[in-house]
Every structure is written in structure tokens, then in C-alpha cells.
Amino acid sequence: MSRAPEFVPLSDAALRAVSGANSRHAALIEDAFHVLIETPGGGVSLNGDTRARTAAKRVVQALAERADAGDDVGEADVRVAIGEARSGRGEGGRGLPAGRRGPVSPKTAGQARYLQAMAENDLVFGLGPAGTGKTFLAVAHGAGLLLRGEVERLVVCRPAVEAGERLGFLPGDLTEKVDPYMAPIWEALTDILGLDQLRRRRDKGEIEVAPLAFMRGRTLSHAFVIVDEAQNASRLQMKMVLTRLGEGARMAVTGDPSQVDLPNAADSGLAHAVSLLEGVKGVAVARFTAEDVVRHPLVERIVRAYEAEAARRGKPG
């Protein structure tokens, strides 16, 4: 049953964010919930049935909060907020800790789907180009689980393909030899947890970052496991690490199937594992595209150029 319109007061910045250029954002909200949005001044007026107004108001408030915090609000943010309002639970950013630069939240609809997949499945593959947040969001999700006590450990591993058999020739002890390959992980953990908390939890054994080879023979129970740069894991390595899952464990496997550094690209275990496991109960696959790139805007254009060139050659990007 329709009722009188509900007025939501907004700042000027929030009103601009909710309306969008040429009222594009408002139109997306109207189409999603079958409401009418008007801007009589000082805010927005929502007209529709009670449930629709409630959901639309949730989107308006989420966008207003971003705008008032000084964040840019784009169409992707509107679509993410709509998806969260439709679910009624907001899985897109639920339980994520705040990083040093503010709250960690999805920036694109693809990122929101990825986070929701990790919340609902024990094994998630995150596939796509660099800059889409695959690793950072997996680390943030795992850190959130650890901070809430839902897992006892956060374990991150990645193959040190570039070192290969030459690892022993690098200077320093084993930690010094492998740390260069783990730098992106340490950076993400430091950004999310802060250096002091990271050190404390690492010293207590609650956080472990190690080469993929170190996982052999182990059973990882009550842990969130991230396998990063998984396109550089061989088929045997991939089977090995996937079967490390123990009681109460979950896993995210991230990588870009188009960036294989193995001597024989056909030996990559990432695409092979996805082909075998997609559709299996408890397994989800999240695919990112150039639209999900959240680095410098030029990165998206670079990714698209390479994808176009690969398409002309008839090969995957």
C-alpha cells in the first residue's frame, strides 16, 4: 500500500551523490526498488510502498555516508549499495576491519559479490587482472574473521616462482630469501591491522605468511587460508594446497590466469582447479574484469588494451 512520501534530509554533497550526473544514480535506485525519488531541496523524497521505501532509504543513507566522509560516489558504488539493500544484510562489507585509510569496503559490484561469496562458501576462487582487489579483500576478510574469533589463524601462501631452484643462491636466511615474494601480503596486512597488532599476532602464531611449498604435509584447521598468485602454482601444488583444509577451515584462492610465469603455462593449476571444482557445493568462483580495477584509472585502460590485443590473437587475456 502506498503511503505519504518519506523525506530524507541530506547535505549538499550527499544530495549530489544520490542524484548523480543527469540524475543517473537516482534513476538506478528508482528502477531497482520501483520508487519515485524527488529532490524538493535539502534532501530527497521517497515515494512507494513501505518495503520499497525502506530499501531505497538504506541505499540513500549509504551513499550519503560515503559522500559526507569525502569519498567519491560512482555508479559502481550505487550498484553495490543496491545489492546490499536487496539482500537486507549488507554482506558486501560486513565484518571487514577498518584499515589505516579508513573502513575497508567494496568499491565495485564485482568486489561486493566476491566478499559475499567468501562469507557464504568454504572455498572461493577470485580470478581477474591486477588492481581488482582480489588479494587485499581476501586479506581483509580473513583479518575480520581472526579479529572476531571465527578462525584461530590467518595463513597466506604464494608460490615463489621467480626464485625457483635459485632460492638458495639469494643472500640471507630463509626468511630474508622469501620475504620479497611476500611483500604485497605484508603490505596488505600492515594496512589493515597496523604494524603493532600484526607483529603481536605474528609472534603468537596467529598470522603466517609463507611460500606455498611450506604447506605440504600440513592440515590447516580453524584457519582462513589465502593462496595468492595461484596461477603460478602447478597442478600438483594446487591439489596439495586445496587438500590441506581441515576442520573449520576456509580458503580463498586468488590469481590472474592470463599472467602465468611457469616455464610451461599449461601446467598452471588455477584454471585446471576451477574447471574441476566450479559448481561443487561449497565452492564459488568470482570473476573480475577491467571494470573492477581500483588502482590508478590508467590501469583499467591498460588492462583493456591488453585484453583487446589478446582477443585479436584469439587467446585469453
Domain that residue 162 falls in? 110-313
Q: Report if residue 102 sits inside a domain.
A: no
Kindly state whether residues 177 and 288 are assigned to the same domain. Answer: yes
Angle at 97 between CA 93 and CA 101, to 5 degrees: 100
For the beta sheet containing 43-47, the strands, ordered from the edge strand earlier in sequence to the opposite edge, are 6-9, 43-47, 36-38
Percentage above 70 pLDDT, the chain: 85
Residue 162 neighbours by CB under 8 Å, 6+ apart: 181, 261
Of 64-68, 169-173, 189-193, 264-268, the least confident: 169-173
> Is the confidence at residue 294, as pLDDT, over 80?
no
Q: Is the pLDDT at 61 greater than 50, yes or no?
A: yes
Query: Both 241 and 119 in a single domain?
Result: yes
Specify the range with the lowest mean pLDDT, choosing from 130-144, 225-239, 270-284, 295-309: 295-309
The answer to whether residues 248 and 179 belong to one domain is yes
Task: Report the CATH number that the domain containing residue 80 is assigned in CATH.
Answer: 3.30.1370.10
Work out the average pLDDT over 67-87.
81
The DSSP secondary-structure symbol of 97 reads: P
The pLDDT value recorded for residue 112 is 85
**Is residue 98 in some structural domain?**
no
Determine the pLDDT at residue 308. 83
Higher pLDDT, residue 95 or 110: 110
Mean pLDDT of 41-53: 89
Report if pTM > 0.75. Answer: no
- CA quadruple 291, 297, 300, 304: dihedral positive or negative? positive
Q: Are the beta carbons of 230 and 252 closer than 8 angstroms?
A: no
290 part of a folded domain: yes
Q: Verify that 186 and 74 share a domain, yes or no.
A: no
Q: Same structural domain for residues 146 and 13?
A: no
Query: Does 128 share its domain with 209?
Result: yes
- Whether 293 maps to a domain, the answer reads yes
- Whether 32 maps to a domain, the answer reads yes
Is 97 a domain residue?
no
- Report the pLDDT value the prediction gives residue 163, as an integer from 0 to 100: 40
User: Do 180 and 216 belong to one domain?
Assistant: yes
| Number of domains the chain contains | 2
Q: What's the pLDDT band for 134 if we cut at 50, 70, 90?
A: very high
Q: Are 254 and 230 in contact (CB under 8 A)?
A: yes
Given pLDDT bands bounded at 50, 70 and 90, which one contains residue 92?
Answer: very low
Residue 91 has pLDDT above 50, yes or no: no
Distance CA 67, CA 74 (A): 10
CB 212 within 8 Å of CB 144: no
- Same domain for 71 and 166? no
In a domain, residue 184? The reply is yes
- In this structure, the answer to whether residues 57 and 181 fall within a common structural domain is no
Is residue 161 domain-shared with residue 299, that is, in the same domain? yes
Mean pLDDT of 37-44: 90
- Is 136 a domain residue? yes
Per the prediction, the chain carries an average pLDDT of 84
Strand partners, 99: 102
Higher pLDDT, 226 or 112: 226
CA distance linking residue 241 with residue 225, whole number of Å: 9
Looking at the structure, do residues 20 and 62 belong to the same domain, yes or no? Answer: yes
Q: What is the CATH number of the domain that holds 162?
A: 3.40.50.300
Given a cut of 90, is residue 96 above it in pLDDT? no
Shared domain check, 174 and 239: yes
